[in-house]
Amino acid sequence: MLTVMILAPLFGALLLTVAGRRLGERLAGALACLAVAVAAGLAFAVFFLKLLPAAPDAEGVRRVTERLGMWFSVGSLTADFGLALDPLSGVMVLFITGVGLLIHIFATGYMHGDEGYVRFFAALNLFVAAMLTLVLADNLLLMFVGWEGVGVCSYLLIGHYFTRDEAAEAARKAFIYNRIGDAGLVLAILLLVTKAGSVNFADIARWAAQQPVETLGWAAVGAGGLTTVGLLVLLGVTGKSAQIPLFVWLPDAMAGPTPVSALIHAATMVTAGVYLLARLNVVFLHAPTALVVVAVVGGATALLSATIALGQDDIKKVLAYSTVSQLGLMVMACGAGAFTAGIFHVTTHAFFKALLFLGAGSVIHALHEEQNLRRMGGLGRFMPLTRWTMTAGWLALAGFPLLSGFFSKDEVLLETFASAVLPGGLAKTLWVVSLLTSLLTAVYMTRLMVLTFHGEPREAVAHGQPHESPLVMTLPLVVLAVLSVFGGVLGLPEAFGAHPWMRGFLSPLVTMPTEFTHEAASHTTELVLMGVSAAIALTGIAGGWWFFQRHPLWEAPRILQAKYWVDEAYDLAVARPLEALARRGLWQGLDVSVVDGLVGGIGRSLSGLGATLREMQSGYARGYVVMIFLAALLILGYFVFGPG
C-alpha cells in the first residue's frame, strides 16, 4: 500500500503529461485530484488500520515496511528500495496527502482558464509523489531522491509563468540556493556512510546511540564526527527550509501560482528540513555543538523574518516571510532537543498557513491579480466566507488562546525554556527571542487582515467588482479553518490534565541521552509560561488592531521594506564576484584566450602549412624541375658533408 500511495500521484502526473491536453481542463483537474485522493485514502487507511494497531518492535517503535528490492550493493554497503511508515512519517503523510488534496481542489478553480493548466497539475501530482518518497524512504539515499524530486518540482512550479522575467528569475534562484544546501547534505550522507556503514535510518540511529556524546566546543566542528555530520545536514536544512543564510529564495518563490505557495512553500516541501532534523535526532543528540548552532540559526531566522514581514506590502510576501519565521521556530525547537514540539508545530502550521495562502489566493483571484495590501481594504463585505476563514488562520498563527497555533507554539516555547541540551542562558535567551517573534507575528498578521478586509475600500476594491470565490475554492478554506481551530487537540498540554498525544506518539523515535535527561517543567511553570505566551499574542493582536485601524497606510522603516538589503549584500559579495570570475576568468581568460586560442592556433598553423604545400603543387614543369634540383643538392650535400 505504501508503494501504491506513491505510484498513484506519479501515474497521474504521467497520464496528464502524455494525454492531458486531449482530456480537457475539467477531466485533467479531476484526474489530478483523484490521484491525490487515492494517495490520501491509502495514507489514512494504513495509518489507522495498520500502524496504530501494530505491535512495537524491539526498539519500541511501530513500523509498517515494504521492500521493493535491492537498489545496489557495493562491498558491505547495500541500499534497498525500502519504504517505512512509522509515527514520524505517518504524521507527515497524513497532512501531505490531506492538505495536498484540499489544495488540488482549490487549484481547479484558481487555475481555471490558465494556458498551462494541464502542465501545472502534472507538476503538482509529481510533487506529491516526490514528497511521499522523501518521507516514506527507509534510507538516506532514497530519501535524497525524493529530496531532489521536490526541488525539481518546485523549480517547475515557481517558473510556471516562465514568460515573466520575475518568475523565471525566482525559479533559478530557488534552484541555485537549494543546490548549495544539497551539497552539504551529500557530504553528510557520504560521511555517515563511512562512519555508520549503512544508509538505513534505523541502522544509523542504532549506531549513533552507541556513540559517546561529543564534547561541546568548536574543536568538534572539523573533527569528522557526529558534530560535522550534524552541521553538514544543517546546511541542507537551511536550503530546503529557508533558514539563514539561504532563506532569500522563499519570498521570491511567491512568483509562482498561489496554490503552489500553499502546498510547496508553506505546508510541505519547506518542512522537509525539519523532518530531516527529527529523523536524525539521535545523531544530533550526540552532537551538542551542532544542536547549539541549529537552535541559534533557527532563533535568528525566526526573529529576522518576523521583522521583515512587518515591512512588506505584498500579501503573499507577508505570508512568505511569516513562513520563514515559523520554520525558524521549528528549527529552533529541534536545536533545543524538542523534536516532537517541532513536528507538532509543523502539523498545525500546515493547517493554518495553507489556509492563509489559499485565502490570499481567493483575494487575489477576486481582485484580478492585485497583491498590494495598500490597494485593498473593505473586502470583508464582499467576501465574507474568505474573511471569516482567514480570520481563523490569522488567530491560529498569532497564537490566540486555545487555537491550534497556540498549543503548538506554546510547546515550542516551553521546551525551549526548559531545554537541557542548550548551555547556560542560551535557552532563556532563545525563549525571549521566541516571545518577540510571537509578538511581531501577531502584529504583522493583524496588519494584513486590517488592510485586506476592514476599513474603507481603496483603489483595487473601489474600482473593481470583487466577489466571493466559487464553492470549489471556498470549501477547502472551510475545512482548513476547522483544522486550524481544533488541530491543537493533537497536543493538549499536561497542565490541562491531558496526555499530549503527539508527544507520546512520536516519543519512541526520540531517545534522549542520559546527559540531557531532566525533570519536566512543573504544571505551575507550564501554566505561567502559557499565560505569558497568551498575553503576548493578545497584546500583539489588540495593539495591531488599534494602530492599523487608525493608520492603515503606515510606512514601515526603510530597512524593513528593503529586507535589510540582504539580497543586495549577497549580490555584491557573492553573485557579482562569481559572475566576474565566470565572465573574465573562465570565459574570456580560459575559454576564449586559452582553449579557443589553442584550437584556433592549431587551425591557423595547419591552414598555413596547407597554403605552402598548395604553392608546391602549381602544375608548372619548371617548378617541379627546381624542386628536383634542390632535392638532388640536399642528397648530394648529405653524402659530401654528412657524418659518414
* pLDDT, position 74: 80
143: CB partners within 8 A, 6+ apart: 133, 134, 137, 276, 279
- Report, in this order, helix, strand and coil percent for the chain, each rounded to 5: 75, 5, 20
308: CB partners within 8 A, 6+ apart: 321, 560, 563, 564
520: confidence class by pLDDT, cuts 50, 70, 90: low
> Is pLDDT above 70 for 247?
yes
* pLDDT, position 514: 62
Which residue in 265, 258, 135, 151 sits closest to 201, CA to CA?
135
**How far, CA to CA in Å, does 618 sit from each of 604, 611, 622?**
22, 11, 10
> Is pLDDT above 70 for 256?
yes
Is residue 83 within 8 Å of residue 19, measured between CB atoms? no
For 210, list phi and psi in degrees, rounded to 5. -85, -10
What are 466-515's pLDDT values in tens digits? 888 889 999 999 999 999 999 888 888 877 777 778 888 888 777 666 66
Which residues does residue 372 pair with via DSSP β-bridges, in sequence order? 314
H or E element at residue 70: strand 64-74
638: confidence class by pLDDT, cuts 50, 70, 90: confident
**What percentage of the chain reaches a pLDDT higher than 70?**
97
Q: Which of 448-457, 496-505, 615-624 has the highest mean pLDDT?
A: 448-457
What are 197-224's pLDDT values in tens digits? 888 898 898 898 888 888 878 888 877 8
> Is pLDDT above 90 for 584?
no
H or E element at residue 238: helix 226-240
For residues 345 and 353, give the distance between their C-alpha atoms in angstroms, rounded to a whole number: 11
For 314, list phi and psi in degrees, rounded to 5. -80, 125
**What percentage of the chain reaches a pLDDT higher than 90?**
47
* pLDDT, position 234: 93
For residue 225, the one-letter residue type is G
354-357-359 Cα angle (round to 5): 105
Write down the pTM of the prediction. 0.88
56: CB partners within 8 A, 6+ apart: 62, 508
521: confidence class by pLDDT, cuts 50, 70, 90: low
For residues 478 and 102, give the distance between their C-alpha atoms in angstroms, rounded to a whole number: 10
Q: Averaged over 220-231, what is the pLDDT?
A: 87
Which residues does residue 65 pair with via DSSP β-bridges, in sequence order? 84
* pLDDT, position 391: 95
Look up residue 74 and give its DSSP letter: E
> Is pLDDT above 80 for 47?
yes
What are 318-346's pLDDT values in tens digits? 999 999 999 999 999 999 988 999 999 99
Q: C-alpha grid cell for residue 177?
A: 540556493
For residues 83 and 371, give the distance between their C-alpha atoms in angstroms, rounded to a whole number: 42
Bond into 9 cis (ω within 30) = no
Q: Averaged over 25-42, what is the pLDDT?
A: 92
Say which residue, 494 or 440, is predicted with more confidence. 440
> Is pLDDT above 80 for 424?
no
What are 287-319's pLDDT values in tens digits? 999 999 999 999 999 999 999 999 999 999 999
What are 159-206's pLDDT values in tens digits? 988 888 888 999 998 998 898 999 999 999 999 989 888 888 988 988
- Quote the radius of gyration of the chain (alpha carbons, Å): 30
